[in-house]
Chains A and B, each alone.
Chain A
Amino acid sequence: MIPSVGMEAEGEVTGWLHRLAQGDGDAFDRLVPLLYDEMRRIASENLRGERREHTLGTTALVHEAYLRLLAGGKIGARDRTQFFGAASRTMRRILVDYARARKSLKRGGGLLTVPLDEAQRLLTHHQASEILAIDEALDRLSRMNDRAARVVHLRFFGGLNTEEIAAVLEISVRSVHRAWVTGRAWLRKEVAADLGIALTDPTTSPRQE
């Protein structure tokens, strides 16, 4: 059950997930770099690919990483849960790295640098600003209400849908939905304030549908 040195990335990820599920706190720090590499690779491949629109597509990316890293081995429900938790954290790091590169900011020291041209193809300047604002706002949210922050995190960066999040956090689908709707509106408001965008209320003017 303990991963041996020199294992393929696939087996290694499974092993660390298992240890993480058993409460090994260090496992998380070992896991994220593995995921980071693989997910960056997938992102780069997507950018080089034929597809014309380069959407961020976190759902597809996280799920593809899951398939590549874990599809081979048997994996329990608890390990799967841990995977999506870790993958969404990784996705957030990747996006923040792209955003910083896009805005030509110095990285705060860490894993890898992101090629500027990739960042430019992936994100607009405005999107990069939004991601950085979201990153900070999510930290604030998690200090206020950790559960709401985790729901938003899993939905936004992990690409999980409401039912999957409910399973991961062991709360009801309805609670997830409420937390997501509230968290998203709060995030939009915070980001708008950060970037100096005025929010207008579309319902105050007569409208036609």
Chain B
Amino acid sequence: MDHLSERWMRLQDLFVSATELEGVERAALLDEGCCGDDELRLEIEAMLRAHAGPLMEVEEAVFGTESEDGVEVGLVGQVVGSYEVIREIGRGGMGMVYLAERVDGYQQQVALKVVRSEFVDSEMARRFRRERQILARLTHPNIAQLLDGGITDDGRPFLVMQRIDGLPITRHCDELRLGLVDRLRLFETVCRAVLFAHRNLIVHRDLKPSNILVSGEGEVKLLDFGIAKLLDPSDDLESIADPGTRSELRLMTPEHAAPEQVKGEPVTTATDTYALGILLYELLTANRPFKGHDTSRSELEREICELPPPPPSLSVARRNRSDPKGMATIAASRASTPERLRRQLKGDLDTIVLHALRKEPDRRYATAEQLAEDIRRYLGGDPVSAQADTWSYRWGRFVLRHSWSVAAGVFFFLCLVVFAGIIFRQSRSLERERDRARLGQDTTEQVTQVLVDLFEVADPYKSPVGGSLRVDELLERHSERVISSLEDQPAVQGRLRHVLGKIHIAHSQFSRGRELLEQALSQRRSISGPEDAEAAGIFHDLAVLRGRTGDLAEARKMLRRSLAWHESHRGEEHETVAQCLQDLAEALPNSSDEKLELLERALELRRRILPPRHVGIASSLNDLALVRLDQSRFEEAVELLSQSKSIVDEALDAGHPFALAVRTNLIGALIQQERLEEGLALQQENLAQQRRIFGDESVSVANSLNSLGTILARKGDWSLAETAFEESLDLWTRLLGPRHPQVVNTTRNLGRIAELLGRPEEALAHLNRAIELRWDSSQPEEDLDYLFIKAQAAAILWQLGRVDAAEEALEETLTLMGRAAQESNYRIVDAQVMLAEVKLRIGRLKEAEALLLDSLGHRVERLEPEHPKIAEARCGLGRVFARSGRREEAGQMFRSCLATYSAWGLAHPDTVAATQRAARQLASGDTDS
């Protein structure tokens, strides 16, 4: 790409982004993006003026009134009623707004609102007359007053309203950099004005920032009761259902519409409550819960009706990831920082907003007054009335309601998840055996008594706390006190710390767990010396914890020491040695041969020394399955996991953490094998149990959300999948810190989803973040996973128009991958296919063909004959052949793969579209010749 064209692309990126921003945010974007290039900046600013300004005359002539901008013949200069129209000051869905002045010498400036001619019909005229009557009655200090009304010469109804000199409430808040408290106070005023209208039986129906102005004096005025509808005074508020209101829907601003408006269901005061929820969302976060741009209107409407809105705090976290500079600006205009803002929103404000935004009108705040009250309570530090929806309510219903028929358009190019997620695997009975061997009987009894005491706190008859406490709350409140009560018995105290440390870890409270284990270890060593068995056990648990929180290198070092210690002190035929082998294997990368070797050794050992249906064997089978999954040997993985599950189902309670882990992994394997139905069924069963045992805040739930996202993505439900991934990422990050491999995994899934949703810039940001995280936690140049993320990022470059950069980066990455792997691997093949796609697009047909033939050979060898990835490679080849005029061969390829595509779909939509186009061209060429 030459210099001029590159500059144009840069200009286009900046310009388009700038059109979506306002005020300080826009300025910040241009500061950042132009980075001192004044010429570029002046040019973009002029373009922004042109963009917002009037059309060229010839544009009006070419596009007429049908233009996407909704051009309307203006009234400027004409006299309407007793007003002279001075200039246009706004356009809405339904009409135009002009600044006008009285012609009879009163010197009064007013806002004159005229309906667009295409909406003028008898119904509209009737509605206008009605609106006039309604508004004449509505006198409130925070509502713009209606002054006059009538019909223009060309038959269009008009209204004359008090002119308000002010800014939309969101801009007002941003320009004054109001903090959350001031914003909430203004919002409360808005609620009370809406309430006044509701008491007069008037629903606004189109509340949005541009309809809520704040004057220079800080006075709030609600405007434009444009589609307000008189509620029938003979009915009560709940039973209003007038089918006549439905035709108004097309006039709505969809970003602010409530689900019932989108669906054409009756509109009530609860509809305004919803709009107030959206307004509050925007005031707090500068974002809207559902994205208007980049998605089609029907997609937006589906989001409004089906998608759970992300909590405002999550929206902030989300924006902070994709656009940290922008989010910093947004937070600054709220006198805050992104992280602080997120924390401020988390909790009550999230709950209040989500309560107002519930899909079902009767589950929202019953009145605007209740909403205003909750705001007042929040500001006063009192508990709010709104209740958060449970996690299972928010998600369960979407999962349940989804039918498989929507799966027709599922396109996936790559596996989304390299499933690495065994969470808990300790066999409790083994642990108990070990404990008994290590400790004197009396110490065990003392610890038991202390724990019994601790749990008695939770008994409502023995404790004033009341209610039943969950274990994690109990630990948080009382563990410190119990530990310090044992100051004079260091052996018991150390043992208790060890036990409590492990309980904390089991509840995902890793940093506290680690602290307790470290204290226990030093305590034990000071009593019994370094060669003590219990110290060795604590040391081992610490090593495992290291690995689970992402510090794999250190974990490996420690685990090798632990293995050596156990082998020399226990002999090689001992269960703890098998456990050591397995734990060390977990800390090794999937591609390493040593890992497989260790796991097989552990399994053999267990088969020798344990009964055949022992959970220890199930645990080994599980870990082996994860390696098989990674090698795309899905069938074997499913088989191993099914064996493991059958043992576990028998030996453990259904809610046992290990049972849940095996099931979660089996779900992952089924997804990979495209057995989505079975995966989803198992997933639902698993979710309920996980929530019951771990609560909403646990790695299990995070993991489930990630699998759920994967299933949804596979089904083509990308928006919903994105939310699932985001919630998962949020949980992972909070529980495991930002550097854990699972964080990388889910970040990468988010990147893939953003790409599919047509947001390549954001996708690239996610992937770059994943690369950065990965770089910190492993030896990157040898790690196929890491390299594969780089390939994914490179492939996105071509979508951003940087074709040459994409080609170069992909080639470089493939070279590294070839060096890192002993033999060809599915990740290498996937990356080859990406490179082939780039080559195909830039016309390097020979090179594309070679890559695709190689990939096809590899896939045919390993995958089932009907696998979508085989079809993908065939389609690529078909396109190469079509472009080189080899029609016969192309036709063959297309025929063999199009059927598979329509049944499965597994490629990027653009790729499928290109294939279909190519096939069509070929077909039309065939019939002509």
Interface residues, chain A, with chain B CB atoms under 8 Å away: 1, 18, 55-59, 74, 76-78, 123-124, 126-127, 130-131, 134, 143-146, 148, 156, 159, 167, 170, 172, 174, 178-179, 181-182, 184-189, 191-192, 199-203, 206-209
Let me know if A209 and B210 touch, CB within 8 A: yes
Neighbour of B47 across the interface among A58, A126, A189, CB < 8 A: A189
Let me know if B62 and A58 touch, CB within 8 A: yes
Question: Is the interface on chain B under 10, 10 to 19, 20 to 34, or 35 or more residues?
Answer: 35 or more
Contacting residues of chain B (33-83) with chain A, CB-CB under 8 angstroms: 43, 46-53, 55-59, 61-64
- What is the CA–CA distance of A143 and B7 in the complex, to the nearest angstrom? 12
The residue in chain A whose Cβ has the minimal distance to the Cβ of B91 is A209
Neighbour of B89 across the interface among A131, A178, A208, CB < 8 A: A208
The residue in chain A whose Cβ has the minimal distance to the Cβ of B14 is A182
Let me know if A199 and B50 touch, CB within 8 A: yes
Binary CB contact string for chain B from 5 to 21 against chain A (1 if under 8 A, 0 otherwise): 10111011001100100
Let me know if A55 and B12 touch, CB within 8 A: no
Q: Which residues of B contact A55 (CB under 8 A)?
A: 61-62, 64
- What is the CA–CA distance of A18 and B47 in the complex, to the nearest angstrom? 40
Cβ-based interface call for B179 (8 A): no
- With A124-B57, A191-B56 given, is the CB distance from A208 to B5 under 8 Å? no
Q: Which residues of A contact B63 (CB under 8 A)?
A: 59
The residue in chain B whose Cβ has the minimal distance to the Cβ of A131 is B58
A and B contact pairs by CB, cutoff 8 A, 14 listed:
A56-B61, A76-B928, A127-B57, A148-B12, A185-B15, A187-B56, A188-B50, A189-B47, A201-B49, A206-B165, A206-B166, A208-B90, A209-B211, A209-B223
Q: Which residues of A contact B431 (CB under 8 A)?
A: none
- What is the CA–CA distance of A189 and B925 in the complex, to the nearest angstrom? 43
Let me know if A208 and B97 touch, CB within 8 A: yes
Let me know if A77 and B53 touch, CB within 8 A: no
Cβ-based interface call for B920 (8 A): yes
Let me know if A189 and B50 touch, CB within 8 A: yes
- What is the CA–CA distance of A208 and B91 in the complex, to the nearest angstrom? 9
Neighbour of A206 across the interface among B15, B91, B167, CB < 8 A: B167
- What is the CA–CA distance of A148 and B46 in the complex, to the nearest angstrom? 18
- What is the CA–CA distance of A73 and B619 in the complex, to the nearest angstrom? 69
Let me know if A174 and B294 touch, CB within 8 A: yes
Neighbour of A208 across the interface among B19, B49, B111, B910, CB < 8 A: B111
Let me know if B46 and A199 touch, CB within 8 A: yes
Between A58, A126, A186, A192, the greatest number of chain B beta carbons within 10 A of the residue's beta carbon is seen for: A186
The residue in chain B whose Cβ has the minimal distance to the Cβ of A157 is B62
Cβ-based interface call for B680 (8 A): no
Closest 4 A-B residue pairs measured CB to CB? Answer: A209-B90, A76-B924, A188-B50, A145-B8
Cβ-based interface call for B213 (8 A): yes
The residue in chain A whose Cβ has the minimal distance to the Cβ of B17 is A178
Let me know if A202 and B53 touch, CB within 8 A: yes
Q: Which residues of B contact A174 (CB under 8 A)?
A: 294, 758
B925 to chain A, nearest CB (A): 7
- What is the CA–CA distance of A200 and B88 in the complex, to the nearest angstrom? 13
**In terms of DSSP, what is the predominant structure of the interface of chain A?**
helix
Given contacts A59-B63, A188-B55, 16 further A-B contacts (CB under 8 A): A1-B928, A1-B929, A58-B62, A77-B921, A126-B57, A156-B62, A167-B917, A172-B910, A189-B43, A199-B46, A200-B49, A203-B22, A206-B167, A208-B97, A208-B163, A209-B92
Cβ-based interface call for B4 (8 A): yes
Let me know if B91 and A199 touch, CB within 8 A: no
Q: Which residues of B contact A159 (CB under 8 A)?
A: 62
Q: Which residues of B contact A18 (CB under 8 A)?
A: 928
A171 to chain B, nearest CB (A): 9
- What is the CA–CA distance of A202 and B668 in the complex, to the nearest angstrom? 54
Q: Which residues of B contact A209 (CB under 8 A)?
A: 89-92, 97, 210-211, 223-224
- What is the CA–CA distance of A74 and B929 in the complex, to the nearest angstrom? 13
- What is the CA–CA distance of A159 and B7 in the complex, to the nearest angstrom? 28
A65 to chain B, nearest CB (A): 16
Q: Which residues of A contact B62 (CB under 8 A)?
A: 55-59, 156, 159
- With A130-B56, A202-B53 given, is the CB distance from A181 to B19 under 8 Å? yes
Q: Which residues of A contact B165 (CB under 8 A)?
A: 206, 208
- With A77-B920, A188-B56, A209-B91 given, is the CB distance from A182 to B97 under 8 Å? no
- What is the CA–CA distance of A93 and B89 in the complex, to the nearest angstrom? 37
Let me know if A144 and B8 touch, CB within 8 A: yes
- What is the CA–CA distance of A143 and B3 in the complex, to the nearest angstrom? 11
Let me know if B48 and A145 touch, CB within 8 A: no
Binary CB contact string for chain B from 124 to 166 against chain A (1 if under 8 A, 0 otherwise): 0000000000000000000000000000000000000001111
Q: Which residues of B contact A203 (CB under 8 A)?
A: 22, 52
Interface residues, chain B, with chain A CB atoms under 8 Å away: 4-5, 7-9, 11-12, 15-16, 19, 22, 43, 46-53, 55-59, 61-64, 89-92, 97, 99, 111, 163-167, 210-211, 213, 223-224, 294, 758, 910, 914, 917, 920-921, 924-925, 927-929
Q: Which residues of B contact A124 (CB under 8 A)?
A: 57
- With A182-B47, A200-B53 given, is the CB distance from A207 to B90 under 8 Å? yes
Between B16, B99, B166, the greatest number of chain A beta carbons within 10 A of the residue's beta carbon is seen for: B16
Let me know if A202 and B758 touch, CB within 8 A: no
The residue in chain A whose Cβ has the minimal distance to the Cβ of B15 is A182
Q: Which residues of B contact A76 (CB under 8 A)?
A: 921, 924-925, 927-928
Let me know if B58 and A134 touch, CB within 8 A: yes
Neighbour of B9 across the interface among A56, A74, A145, CB < 8 A: A145
- What is the CA–CA distance of A185 and B914 in the complex, to the nearest angstrom? 30
- What is the CA–CA distance of A186 and B46 in the complex, to the nearest angstrom? 8
- What is the CA–CA distance of A77 and B928 in the complex, to the nearest angstrom? 12
- What is the CA–CA distance of A156 and B829 in the complex, to the nearest angstrom? 44
- What is the CA–CA distance of A57 and B47 in the complex, to the nearest angstrom? 25
The residue in chain A whose Cβ has the minimal distance to the Cβ of B221 is A208
Let me know if B294 and A189 touch, CB within 8 A: no
B566 to chain A, nearest CB (A): 58
Q: Which residues of A contact B58 (CB under 8 A)?
A: 56, 123, 127, 130-131, 134
Q: Which residues of A contact B89 (CB under 8 A)?
A: 207-209
Q: Which residues of B contact A78 (CB under 8 A)?
A: 921, 924-925
A141 to chain B, nearest CB (A): 8
Let me know if B12 and A178 touch, CB within 8 A: yes
B70 to chain A, nearest CB (A): 13
Q: Which residues of B contact A184 (CB under 8 A)?
A: 51, 59
Let me know if A189 and B46 touch, CB within 8 A: yes
The residue in chain A whose Cβ has the minimal distance to the Cβ of B4 is A144
B92 to chain A, nearest CB (A): 6
- What is the CA–CA distance of A200 and B49 in the complex, to the nearest angstrom? 6
- What is the CA–CA distance of A127 and B223 in the complex, to the nearest angstrom? 37
Neighbour of A178 across the interface among B16, B22, B927, B929, CB < 8 A: B16
Neighbour of A170 across the interface among B53, B166, B914, B920, CB < 8 A: B914
Between B57, B58, B914, the greatest number of chain A beta carbons within 10 A of the residue's beta carbon is seen for: B58
B918 to chain A, nearest CB (A): 10
The residue in chain B whose Cβ has the minimal distance to the Cβ of A191 is B56
Let me know if A130 and B12 touch, CB within 8 A: no
The residue in chain B whose Cβ has the minimal distance to the Cβ of A193 is B46
B169 to chain A, nearest CB (A): 13
Q: Which residues of A contact B91 (CB under 8 A)?
A: 209
- What is the CA–CA distance of A179 and B166 in the complex, to the nearest angstrom? 34
- With A145-B9, A185-B51 given, is the CB distance from A127 to B163 under 8 Å? no
- What is the CA–CA distance of A170 and B165 in the complex, to the nearest angstrom? 48
B45 to chain A, nearest CB (A): 8
- What is the CA–CA distance of A17 and B925 in the complex, to the nearest angstrom? 13
Neighbour of B52 across the interface among A127, A172, A202, A206, CB < 8 A: A202
Between B4, B5, B8, the greatest number of chain A beta carbons within 10 A of the residue's beta carbon is seen for: B8
- What is the CA–CA distance of A145 and B43 in the complex, to the nearest angstrom? 16
Let me know if B50 and A130 touch, CB within 8 A: no
Q: Which residues of A contact B48 (CB under 8 A)?
A: 185, 201
Q: Which residues of B contact A148 (CB under 8 A)?
A: 8, 12
- What is the CA–CA distance of A127 and B164 in the complex, to the nearest angstrom? 36
- What is the CA–CA distance of A78 and B12 in the complex, to the nearest angstrom? 29
B408 to chain A, nearest CB (A): 20
Let me know if B53 and A57 touch, CB within 8 A: no
Let me know if B49 and A186 touch, CB within 8 A: no
Let me know if A192 and B4 touch, CB within 8 A: no
